[in-house]
Amino acid sequence: MSEAVFEMVGDTPTVCIDFKNPKSYLALAPTFALEDSLRLRFDWLPVSVSPLTRPSARQPNEDRGTQHRRMRAEYYERDFRRYARVYGLELGDLYRNPDTSLACIGLLFAKRADDGAVRRYLQLSFGRYWKGQIDIEDDRAVASVLDDAGVATNSWKGFASGAGRDECERIGRTLREGGVFDVPAYIVAGDVFFGRQHLPMIEWLLTGKRGEPPL
Amino acid sequence: MTDTFDPLRSDSPLIVYVDFKSPYAYLAKDPTYALERDFGIAIDWRPLTLDIPSYLGSAKLGADGRVAQSDRTPQQWSGVKYAYMDVRRYASLRGITARGTVKIWDSSLAGIGMEWAKQQSRAILRGYIDRVYERFWKRELDIEDPRVIEAVLVEAGADVGAFAAYHTGAGRVRHNELQQRIFDAGVFGVPSYVIDGELFFGREHLPMVRWLLGGRRGPAPDVAYRHFGADATT
């Protein structure tokens, strides 16, 4: 992870997410739970990473590498869906690749509002996107999510086309160039962790490394 | 012997696939033993010999520790470097040494040795697995050398009278045939856990595996690298 990333996030525990990535969606609930348990707030940063690759159709005489990539992709789809069931989440097409910049700018906009706005915005935007209820490339749709999250949207249009877009691009570029290639990416105590499976480690780090370390 | 083999079924309630050249499988070893202890079950440990270059490219370090040969893409290198960093941070917390390997090893002989140990007793199997993992990841074991593998088997208490004939004959044939069947069944990485025919790849699924072995009591857990005490119920 580059110095530029650590400089940008400072000492605040940070989580980087991508709206089009199901692993980010699956990470929302356990990350919120950890926030509540530790009585802290992560800094939620938007980043756009490579979309998931749809498994290729099985081919006769496919080479081992192709077969491996296909089986791995098929496995991960099953895996995302079985854990989505644990959380009662609906996952539509996992392989969509929309321009998520407006949703990202919406997150930055929500961060300027009250303390609970970010969580409400994330729950609503992810939920509606993954249920196929929203076009996240439409600024009116994102504005509607902000409204429903209790965020005043008077200055939304200007922010979305101006300072918000610049900030979103700067953050995303810094994260990607700095080594954030997957999501959710937790940046905590000078280290990066890809995946919500690290939450026990993150909790352990944030609570002074007390007790048995995670395995 | 191989005709009755099913990659996703076993007499045991849990199948675990491991490869000695995978540090993630090494990290999973002891938490997986804990399942045997806590549930009083005999896990069906099976070798899965990964063909890493086929999906992650290949690389070799020179004597100076720098990359001497590689056909990996930048993305593959990012993933590999992160994986080793991730392994080391968890390993260090448990006092486990996991030095980066200097090449991609052929671990098939070590896997055949594992099958040999398994045929003898569970204690011998565990003794063999523990020794191979610890020494290999300290760079103290050449797992491609039959004499080295045989010596570890002896240390673990195995009778090795016929091992040389086995690993060059029936054991090698069985290994190669089963590896293809395991891979074709969709088991592509380690550690992999199979319970009731369902595949879970990675130790982050141990909470779910534990929940399934425990009769699905309470809400289903999420993935997590979680510590398990003897009395853990999640």
Dist CA B113 CA A198 (whole Å): 34
Quick check: A72 contacting B, CB < 8 Å? yes
Q: How many domains does chain B have?
A: 1
The stretch B64-83 carries a mean pLDDT of 79
The answer for B197, left when phi > 0, alpha when psi is -120 to 50, beta otherwise, is left
Dist CA B175 CA B173 (whole Å): 5
Written as six digits, the tokens of B76 are 């593959």
Return the CATH fold of A3-50+96-206. Answer: Glutaredoxin (3.40.30)
Do A64 and A58 contact (CB within 8 A), yes or no? no
What is the average pLDDT score of chain B? 92
Among the listed residues A104, A118, A98, A75, the one whose alpha carbon sits nearest the alpha carbon of residue A164: A104
**Closest chain B residue to A209 measured between Cα atoms?**
B93
The confidence band for B230, taking pLDDT boundaries of 50, 70 and 90, is very low
Residue A15 forms beta bridges with which residues?
A: A44, A186
Interface test with A, best of B30, B38, B55, B81 (most A CBs within 10 A): B55
The answer for B162, left when phi > 0, alpha when psi is -120 to 50, beta otherwise, is alpha
Quick check: A98 contacting B, CB < 8 Å? no
H helix or E strand, kind and range, residue B61: strand B59-61
Residue B54 burial (CB count, 10 A): 16
The stretch B153-161 carries a mean pLDDT of 98
Cβ pair A63:B94 closer than 8 A: no
Per-residue pLDDT at B68: 73
Return the CATH number at B182.
Answer: 3.40.30.10
Per-residue pLDDT at B203: 97
Do A14 and A147 contact (CB within 8 A), yes or no? no
> Is pLDDT of B228 > 80?
no
Q: Closest partner residue to A86 among B75, B93, B220, by Cβ?
A: B220
Q: Closest partner residue to B225 among A179, A194, A198, by Cβ?
A: A198
Per-residue pLDDT at B171: 98
Instruction: For residue range B99-130, list pLDDT tens digits in order.
Output: 988 888 999 999 999 999 999 999 999 999 99
Listed by start position, the domains of chain A span: 3-50+96-206, 52-95
Residue-range definition of the domain harbouring residue B191: 2-51+106-213
pTM of the entire predicted model: 0.93
**Closest chain A residue to B32 measured between Cα atoms?**
A215
Domain for residue B64, yes or no?
Answer: no
Side chain identity at residue B102, one-letter code: V
Per-residue pLDDT of chain A (215 residues; tens, 9 = 90+): 889 999 999 999 999 999 999 999 999 999 999 999 999 999 999 999 999 999 989 988 899 999 999 999 999 999 999 999 999 999 999 999 999 999 999 999 999 998 899 999 999 999 999 999 999 999 999 999 999 999 999 999 999 999 999 999 999 999 999 999 999 999 999 999 999 999 999 999 999 999 989 98
Per-residue pLDDT at B75: 79
Per-residue pLDDT at B72: 73
The confidence band for B3, taking pLDDT boundaries of 50, 70 and 90, is confident
Quick check: A177 contacting B, CB < 8 Å? no
| Alpha-helical segments (H) within chain A | 3-9, 22-38, 64-87, 101-110, 117-130, 139-148, 156-161, 163-177, 199-206
Instruction: For residue range B4-41, list pLDDT tens digits in order.
Output: 899 999 999 999 999 999 999 999 999 999 999 999 99
Dist CA B74 CA B209 (whole Å): 34
> Is pLDDT of B82 > 70?
yes
